Amino acid sequence: MSEGCRIEVRGTVQGVGFRPWVYRLARRAGLAGRVWNHSEGVTIEAFGGAGSLESFVQWLRDDTPASARIRELRLSKIPPELAEDFVIEPSEGVGARALSIPPDLATCNKCEEEVLDPNDRRYRYPFTNCTECGPRFTITTDIPYDRSATTMHDFALCPSCEREFHDVMDRRFHAQPNACPECGPKLSLCEPDGTETICDDPLATAVGLLRGGAIVAIKGLGGFHLACDASDAPVVRKLRARKHRDEKPFAVMARDLAVARSLANLTTEEELLLSSQERPIVLVERRPDAPLAAEVAPESPVLGLFLPYTPLHHLLLREVDRPLVMTSANIAGEPICKDNAEAIARLGGIADVLLVHDRDIAMRCDDSVARVIAGKATVMRRSRGFVPRPFQLKESVDRPVLACGAHLKNTFCIAVEDTAYFGPHIGDLETLAAMEFFEEAVDRMQTILSVEPEVVTHDLHPGYLSTRYAKARGGAETIGVQHHHAHVVSAMAEHGLRGPVLGIAYDGTGYGNDGTAWGGELLLCFTGHFRRLATFRPIKLPGGNLAMREVWRVALSLLHDAFSGDAPIDEFPLFQRIPDESIRVVTQMIDRHLNAPQAHGVGRYFDAVGALVLNRPDSTFEGQVAVALNVIADVTERASYPFEIDRTGAVEIIDLRPMVRAVVEDVMRGVAASTISAKFHNTLIGATGAVVRGLAEVIGQPPVVLTGGVFQNPILTQGVLAELQNEFECFTHSRVPPGDGGLALGQVLIANAIVAEGSTPCA
Ligand SMILES: [Zn+2]
Ligand SMILES: [Zn+2]
Ligand SMILES: [Zn+2]
């Protein structure tokens, strides 16, 4: 007695070998029927005996392919049909929405073996892929995900590839980017002026050049990298000089885990993260004896390390046989290069040679960055390997929402119904090129999701380009959201919390409801509204944004405040490096409140104390001095400095002036910087604990969430957790970045709540 069953599958089920797998299961169960892709997922109609159907459904649930994510499996009974076979039907055209384009997938073991096997027809072929691995999001131009809607559509399959593509028993059955040396994309080598270098084997030539100390621009999955031998100090220095990147660390790619272990002290969690399918850059502790040029990450024990994720990387790393610097190829402030002509125009002055190919990149997608923080893998930059994987929301949004994100480290987010989709990492929205990338990426995400956002949300800061974009877009309701409220709600969303929560949002800066720069905030938060309960005593920033770079200004301001206008600058070698005239002018700015806006950011305290203790007048990139202060802390030091909490106003104030005076005493006594740094961290942890306990007496004991860029600091995160988790239920970030790269998710939910409740965002 034959029965019929329709199974609707939702989740990441396209481009991951899902239909062939269903086909094989159906054959194994002896069922007839069909399976097809459409814009909302996959539908299966199966016919056969009740027992066979039951086992089939059980296998579907239990044995899902590694790259697929089944979010929902809906069964319904349908009339039986006299079908003879099980078939894969062509995809249905564009419907409501595509929820199921997978992220780019790191090369699988089988494909890696093939490209290393001299007897395989894909030996040393850099574009080898299968249904389990290869490019996806970055080659997708439209939906549904089929070869014709990717940048592979111009490459006609050769007879061998065609056979694989149509053979259900082959692991390349319906692998949309399937290719081989006969029919697929090809490498070529270019001079910086764009003329092609004539050579038999561009890969081998590039390998020889890299070993000889050249800088090579390499076209990857989501854009170009600039590569050079990471053990060769002169070439790393040359790359720094040409890229005008004085001190910011470069990421290093190691050929495999064994080499990675020779470069860094790795924990089990870090090894898992390094070899995860997303293959992010992982921040790890560099070994003192690592065979790496010091110039890779000047003065920092933290190393950004990652493993190969395309066949081209595997081949390069094996043949060069040294770790390579692999840094995003862009000009400062601009997005990563993706097109050959663009790379030649923009990188010609940096690279000695360009290793390019003829498969276009449809969407830029930078490498992701992650770190193990308090024992937990934490994404710091969510991009290649993650985008556009859906993020499941606890509650649906009423209307499609576009959240424009923050100003620095921008990532946007689009939410439809109960799912949110982060866009790729855009970077700092400070140049026209970055803004163009932002708009291009938003348009592309709208296309592949087939959605037109009806609510557009942005940061409260009126001057941000993302705010102006949101307001200029038209056709949608626009809603401004407070920066730290958005941080807290992004963490709430990750853990399905509805509020109230006590949000501890520590970062560098964010526009406050009162127009001042917030950033050391304790907020009582619900999704749609919040109340500011406590903050840090503000520091004046003489020169405004200039004080973010010239951190000695913040240091002077901090001393001036702690010593009532009589800063003991003679005690610090730092100020001997600054011209007297500059010190006089900045002191006047502080005294007379001239161009010296108030800032509450915890990041500013790191800058100021770091400048004083490390004798560092400038920060050449965001967070440089803060991270330098963090990494030297002596974690065995238990002592801390005094602080006060002023509970007299409507918002409690954490006052660290007693700490600053004690730091000065320690410096005068010649106490080691590593000890002072540890005592500074311990003070922040202790002050946070004290203020939270005090607030709990009034508001009870809601769950506590830690969020904001400062919680990318493992010592602080671990310390605050240890301080609070016996008394409070504490939550930290993991899948959503704690910094501004995760902000857009909070913006989505707040905007949705404001629209739904008509609530006021703050009190
Ligand atoms: Zn593969
Ligand atoms: Zn072929
Ligand atoms: Zn922030």
pLDDT tens readout for residues 513-526: 999 999 999 999 99
- Which CATH number applies to 534-731? 3.30.420.40
Give the angle subtended at the CA of 325 by the CAs of 321 and 327, to the nearest 5°: 145
* Whether pLDDT at 96 is above 50: no
Of 42, 46, 41, 40, residue with least CA distance to 58: 46
> Whose CA is closest to 279, among 318, 319, 312, 310?
310
Q: State pLDDT tens for residues 338-397.
A: 999 999 999 989 999 999 999 999 999 999 999 999 999 999 999 999 999 888 899 899
Instruction: Check residue 510 and give its pLDDT.
Output: 95
% of residues, the chain, pLDDT over 90: 83
Distance 311 CA to ligand 1 centre (A): 9
Helix (H) or strand (E) holding 319: helix 311-320
Q: What is the mean pLDDT of residues 310-324?
A: 98
Q: What is the pLDDT of residues 536-587, one digit of tens each?
A: 999 999 999 999 999 999 999 999 999 999 999 999 999 999 999 999 999 9
Summarize pLDDT for 575-596 with one digit per residue, the tens: 999 999 999 999 999 999 999 9
Q: What is the pLDDT of residues 122-171, one digit of tens each?
A: 999 999 999 889 999 999 998 878 899 999 999 999 999 999 998 888 99
CB neighbours (10 Å) of residue 169? Answer: 10
| Distance in angstroms (rounded) separating the CA atoms of residues 188 and 370 | 32
Which of the following CATH numbers is that of domain 3-88: 3.30.70.100, 3.40.190.80, 3.40.50.300, 3.40.50.880?
3.30.70.100
CA of 170 to the centre of ligand 1 (A): 12
Compute the distance from residue 187 Cα to the ligand 1 centre, in Å: 19
Fold classification of 187-357 is DHBP synthase (3.90.870)
Q: What is the DSSP letter of 457?
A: E
User: How many angstroms is it from 480 CA to the middle of ligand 3?
Assistant: 15
Q: Domain ranges for the chain, please list them.
A: 3-88, 109-166, 187-357, 534-731
Residue 98 confidence (pLDDT) above 60: no
Q: What is the DSSP letter of 191?
A: -
Rg (alpha carbons) of the chain, rounded to whole number: 27
- The two three-digit tokens of residue 426, written as one number: 């855009």
At how many degrees (to 10) do helices 624-632 and 673-699 cross? Answer: 100
Ligand 1 centroid distance, CA of 314 (Å): 13
| Cα-to-centroid distance, 478 and ligand 3 (Å) | 20
Q: Are 48 and 3 in contact (CB under 8 A)?
A: yes
Terminal alpha carbon distance of the chain:
66
Closest CA to 706 of 433, 456, 506: 506
Name the token pair of 412.
């946007």
Element (H, E) at 580: helix 580-591
Surrounding ion ligand 1 within 5 Å at CB are: 108, 111, 130, 132-133
What's the pLDDT band for 83 if we cut at 50, 70, 90? confident
Q: Taking residues 656-677, what's their average pLDDT?
A: 97
Sign of CA dihedral 238, 239, 244, 248: negative
Neighbours of 596 (CB within 10 A): 21
* Contact in structure between 529 and 762 (CB atoms under 8 Å): yes
Nearest of 632, 637, 746 to residue 685 by alpha carbon? 637
pTM of this structure:
0.91
Among 462, 463, 457, 495, residue whose Cα is nearest residue 479: 457
- In three-state secondary structure terms, 674 is helix
> If you measure from the C-alpha of residue 15 to the centroid of ligand 2, how many angstroms do you get, rounded to a whole number?
19
Q: Rounded to the nearest whole angstrom, what is the distance from the C-alpha of residue 67 to the centroid of ligand 1?
A: 11
Task: Name the amino acid, one letter, at 159.
Answer: P
Tens of pLDDT along 598-642?
A: 999 999 999 999 999 999 999 988 889 999 999 999 999 999 999
**Could you count the other beta carbons within 10 Å of the beta carbon of residue 257?**
12
pLDDT of residue 759: 58
For 143, 238, 341, the CA distances from 364, given in Å and listed in that order, are 18, 26, 15
Q: What are the tokens at 131? A: 């249904």
Name the residue with tokens 């290069």: 337
**CA 263/CA 325 separation, integer angstroms:** 13
The reported pLDDT for the residue numbered 19 is 87
Rounded to the nearest whole angstrom, what is the distance from the C-alpha of residue 177 to the centroid of ligand 1? 11
Give the pLDDT of residue 560. Answer: 97
Q: Is the CB of residue 249 less than 8 Å from the CB of residue 296?
A: yes
Is residue 229 a contact partner of residue 210, using CB atoms and an 8 Å limit? yes
